[in-house]
Chains A and B, each alone.
Chain A
Amino acid sequence: MELLGHLADGFATSLSPLNLFIVIIGVTAGLFIGAMPGLGSVNGVAIVLPITFIVPPASAIILLAAIYYGAMYGGAISSILLGIPGASTAVATTFDGRPMAQQGKAGLALIAAACASFVGGTISVVLFTLFAAPLADIALAFGPAEEFALVLLAFTTFVGLGGDDVLKTIIMICLGLALSTVGLDLISGQPRLIFFDEPGFYSGISFLVLAIGVYGIGEILYTIETQKTAPQVTPAKLTFTELWYGIKEINKLWKTMSLGSFLGFFVGMLPAAGATPAALMSYGIAKLTSKTPEKFGKGAIEGVAAPETANNAASTGSLLPMLTLGIPGSPTTALLLGGMVMWGLVPGPMLFIEQPDFVWGLISSLYTANLAAVLVNLALIPLFVWALRMPFTVLCSLVFVLCLVGGYAPSQKLHDVWLIVGFGVAGYLLRKADYPMAPLVLALVLGPLMEKSFRQTLISEQGNVLAFIERPISGTFIAISVIFFALPLLKHVKRWLKRDLSPAE
């Protein structure tokens, strides 16, 4: 019961009036930062971090947790309203969130995202509290081979994400993977694919640049063409009855959400994997287990809830390797790690024993921040929905400006802004020719992980390809991916056989 005592102490601190005020401010700021295309929790945390050395440590942790959660919730907002994923973790949210917004159900999608995030966050914080220490050992068991198998598993969820045109889906996956190799080859330490000898390519092509280009600029160009003056979406209204209806709808999603939470937490906990594969796998599994898989991609509420529970759960899960192993799973946790070092804490297995105040203070802050985030988010949904009712040209011009500035902000290179415009035009043309965009963007995110772990394994195993199958964890994952991959293929074959047989009858 020592654990509960620690938690109670933590809560007592996080519920003081000053800290509650800090939570609200932090969550609101995080929400807006996360909702801005291009900006995410990493920007919020980077700004707040220096301040944390001035305020009392307990308040500092709460502020950071609040910004972290706020930004996570905010990421879904731009995915749903504008169709621009603000972070790679929110790509899967656009699949169904965007169609929902276009059908005038933006409010419902936002409520679903908020509630799902809350459930994901809560379940994962509970898991965190109960099993933090033993779970760290699982993370340790993950070497390069296991990482590769996990990414492969995430990749198989692509099957079915693209349109019916298999050739075009393959092209987009390959293009995304090829673009992900631009920059430095980690294994040989040599630069590669430095187009036109531009120094900007040394750092590779970031996910944000491609996503803002394709989903931001490309999408608006596409809409300008299809409907120059007509409103982009059916204006959405939000009343209390609808809010109530929304919450009732969400109540039916417990299976999806609990599955997403567990999956998200466990995948997020593994260093190097993080929330993007988690959200993607959760979406894939929700579609696979759904009774109405054909609704996915056309505005299914489960399609919003599944990735949102998973990415929030994964973001909490990713704090685990940071605290217990000192390995950041994302740029944001890397900054937090730096912060901890500056507060004089040594992340690692001893942290839970030597600094229980910090650890349990952080966990109770997470509870508080999560609760505050869902409340603030729900309260602000009418405002966000209202923003969609702006005249189309006004909204467009503002989104263009946000895309340009949001693309510049993370790297502060004009090179990236040019790339955004280029990707925007290319994305517009490709979309017109029915090339699917999601495989392209997700391949860019997962590509580096996949190549790196693949080659690391082969180097350490002296070129033995069988190493992937021989190791128990990675072998299991690969077997599951093969099944996942074969399922839709079998369906195709079945259909094809039937079609071939029917004329013969």
Chain B
Amino acid sequence: MKTRFTRRMAMALAASAGLMMAGPAAAEEWAPQKPVEMVIMAGQGGGADRLARLFQSIIQKEGLSKMPILPVNKGGGSGAEALRYLKDKSGDNHVIMATLNSYYTTPLRTDIGVNIEEFTPIARMALDTFVLWVNADSDIQNLDDYVAAVKAAGGSWKMGGTGTGQEDSLVTAMLQNEFGLDITYVPFKGGGDVAKNLVGGHIDSSVNNPSEALGFYQAGKLRPIAAFTPDRIEVFPDTPTMTELGHDLVYWMQRSFVAPAGMDPAAVAYYTEMFEKLNATEEWQTYTQEKALMADFLTGQELQDYFLEERAKHDELLGSMAEG
């Protein structure tokens, strides 16, 4: 084992000496020269992490990148750690970051000295949807039943979700504002935890992403009440949308990639093309269908505009939450 390693090492050294004499390769066709770090704005095991690792494996399987993409979790402080890290990596061509909505909510909620306008947008891969769920054993069949039940509970209605200030709590706040409800919000560590506690009867409802609740739904343990989307979700054809029911409640979780400020435009073009190819792969398209994701591909300036628009929306939403 050891001898083989040293021989390979020697060969590599010889190769490196040769390369250095040849000088840098042609500059116009940029390609990563070392493994690319894929920072994930969330901890291991969450939805964002799983998706980022799915991207990594599709990229590896289809050979979309010359160098390996290495996922690194920096989920501390709802992504504050990742944002600060990306800020420090200005001008680095070998770092990309997988984002979720905390990309704008975290800098809005606590001052961490990061302005997301400075970062370089790469590509938006998908929009994840939200659905209102109850335990299948409950008597609640539709939205009217739900609102009546929450009102009857008089403030002791337990809504489970991810950490306070994260997406689930925002959707809950929207729900409360729209129907004038009084809900007790119980934060959990992750979406899977929330779904399990709903099935176990420890909470009364949730606003899980479909992918988190799908297993229980198929086993007949959870019931979708309404979707926070403009159009019906393919996997739940019988579940009405909030818009249909006359309530303007739409909320998405975006799954995008960004890069540090000042990345070489040639590198930006390289990554954008990589994700474009990824977007076209069969695996990704089937996955989005099965998991009720909207594969809504967006790049460049349009993506930046989208980020800023969403940031403004969330600013308002967080403001209304603080008041309520």
Which residues of A are at the interface with B, using a C-beta cutoff of 8 A? Answer: 42, 46, 49-50, 53-54, 139-144, 183-184, 186-191, 194, 199-204, 271-272, 321, 325-328, 331, 333-335, 337-338, 341-342, 344, 346-351, 411-412, 452, 456, 459-460, 462
Contacts and interface: CB of A to CB of B under 8 A. Distances in A.
B140 to A, nearest CB: 18
Given A203-B76, A342-B287, A459-B185, 10 more contacts: A49-B57, A53-B60, A184-B77, A186-B164, A325-B192, A325-B196, A337-B192, A349-B216, A349-B219, A460-B184
Most buried by A among B50, B60, B110, B287: B50
Given A325-B196, A331-B45, A199 B80 contact: yes
**Which of B71, B109, B192 gathers most chain A CB within 10 Å?**
B192
Interface string B50-87: 10011011001100000000011111111011001100
Interface stretch (B15-23, B199-207, B237-245): B199-207
Contacts of B203: 460
B187 A187 contact: yes
Interface string B221-260: 1000000000000000000000000000000000000000
A322 B209 CA distance: 18
Nearest to B192: A327
Given A334-B44, A335-B45, A341-B54, A200 B81 contact: yes
A420 B70 CA distance: 24
Contacts of A183: 76-77
Interface of B: 43-46, 49-50, 53-54, 56-57, 60-61, 71-78, 80-81, 84-85, 109-110, 112, 156, 158, 163-166, 169, 184-189, 192-193, 195-197, 199-203, 211-212, 214-216, 218-219, 221, 286-287, 290
Contact of A142 (B76, B78, B200, B214): B200
A143 B163 CA distance: 17
Q: Name which of A53, A191, A327, A351 has the most chain B CB atoms within 10 A of its CB.
A: A327
Contact of B76 (A184, A186, A412): A184
Contacts of B45: 328, 331, 333-335, 337-338
Contacts of B109: 189
Given A144-B202, A348-B214, A462-B184, A54 B192 contact: no
Contact of A460 (B61, B110, B158, B163): B158
In the complex, the 5 A-B pairs of residues with the closest C-beta atoms, listed nearest first = A348-B215, A334-B45, A203-B76, A143-B202, A202-B77
Contacts of A456: 186-188
B193 A327 contact: yes
B192 A326 contact: yes
17 contacts: A140-B199, A143-B202, A186-B187, A200-B76, A202-B81, A203-B74, A203-B77, A203-B81, A325-B215, A331-B45, A337-B45, A338-B45, A346-B218, A350-B215, A456-B188, A459-B186, A460-B158
Contacts of A412: 72
Nearest to A458: B186
A351 B214 CA distance: 12
B184 A337 contact: no
A50 B60 contact: yes
A278 B76 CA distance: 27
Contacts of A201: 76
Contacts of B164: 186-189
B215 A202 contact: no
Which of B61, B169, B200 has the most chain A CB atoms inside 10 A of its CB? B200
A407 to B, nearest CB: 15
A321 B216 CA distance: 13
Contact of B215 (A49, A351, A459): A351
Given A335-B45, A341-B50, A184 B57 contact: no
B4 to A, nearest CB: 16
Nearest to A459: B186
Between A200, A335, A346, A462, the greatest number of chain B beta carbons within 10 A of the residue's beta carbon is seen for A346
B203 to A, nearest CB: 7
Nearest to A455: B187
A411 B75 CA distance: 10
B200 A141 contact: yes
Contact of B61 (A50, A191, A348): A50
B184 to A, nearest CB: 6
Nearest to B77: A202
B317 to A, nearest CB: 14
B136 to A, nearest CB: 12
A321 B195 CA distance: 12
Nearest to B81: A202
B205 to A, nearest CB: 12
B215 A272 contact: no
Contacts of B110: 190-191
B115 to A, nearest CB: 16
A143 B135 CA distance: 15
A223 B159 CA distance: 53
A207 B166 CA distance: 25
B214 A189 contact: no
B65 to A, nearest CB: 12
A42 B43 CA distance: 13
Contacts of B53: 49, 335, 338, 342
